[in-house]
C-alpha cells in the first residue's frame, strides 16, 4: 500500500522523488510580527543573487547604519556590533556578518502539514485574561 505524505507525496520513503519547484518569494515593505521573544526578524524580500560571504555582504548596502537614511531599511540591530566579549565595535561583528544564519526570506506557499502554533502573546492572554503582558 502506498501512503501519501504532505511532504513526500506518493514517493516511497526509500526513493528520492522529484524536486518541488521553487516557491515565489514574498516581497513586501511590511514587517512581519514576531512570534516569540528574541525571534530574529524575517527578510521581507527576495535575496536571490545576494552575495553574503567572507568577501562581502549585500544586505549591508541597505541595512548598515550609514545607509539606512538613503535606503529607508531598518538598521542592523546594535547587538550585531558587539564582539563575543560584549565590547562594541565600529562595524558589524564578524560573528554576525552572515545574516542568513538567523534571518530567512519568506515564501508564498500553502502549509504542507497542519500547524497549531500559537504565538507567545496569545498564550499569555489565555493564561491571564485581561492581565498585563
**Does 131 have pLDDT greater than 70?**
no
Q: Which residues of 79-103 are buried (b: 16+ CB within 10 A; e: fewer)?
A: ebbbeeeeeeeeebbeebbebeeee
| Digit-coded pLDDT (tens) for 95-129 | 999 999 999 999 988 888 888 988 888 888 888 87
How far the first Cα of the chain sits from its last, in Å, is 50
Cα(36)–Cα(31) distance, integer angstroms: 15
Task: Place 21 in a pLDDT band, splitting at 50, 70 and 90.
Answer: confident
Task: Look at residue 64 in the predicted model and tell me its pLDDT.
Answer: 95
Task: Place 1 in a pLDDT band, splitting at 50, 70 and 90.
Answer: low
User: What structural domains does the chain harbor?
Assistant: 51-104 (1.10.1130.10)
Amino acid at each position: 500500500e502506498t501512503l501519501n505524505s504532505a511532504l513526500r507525496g506518493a514517493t516511497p520513503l526509500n526513493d528520492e522523488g522529484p524536486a518541488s519547484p521553487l516557491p515565489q518569494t514574498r516581497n513586501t515593505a511590511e514587517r512581519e510580527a514576531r512570534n516569540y521573544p528574541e525571534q530574529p526578524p524575517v527578510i521581507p524580500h527576495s535575496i536571490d543573487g545576494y552575495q553574503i560571504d567572507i568577501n562581502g555582504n549585500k544586505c549591508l548596502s541597505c541595512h548598515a547604519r550609514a545607509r539606512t537614511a538613503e535606503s529607508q531599511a531598518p538598521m542592523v540591530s546594535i547587538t550585531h556590533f558587539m564582539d563575543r566579549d560584549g565590547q562594541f565595535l565600529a562595524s558589524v561583528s564578524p560573528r554576525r556578518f552572515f545574516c542568513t544564519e538567523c534571518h530567512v526570506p519568506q515564501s508564498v506557499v500553502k502549509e504542507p502539514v497542519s500547524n497549531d502554533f500559537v504565538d507567545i502573546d496569545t498564550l499569555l492572554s489565555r493564561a491571564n485574561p485581561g492581565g498585563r503582558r
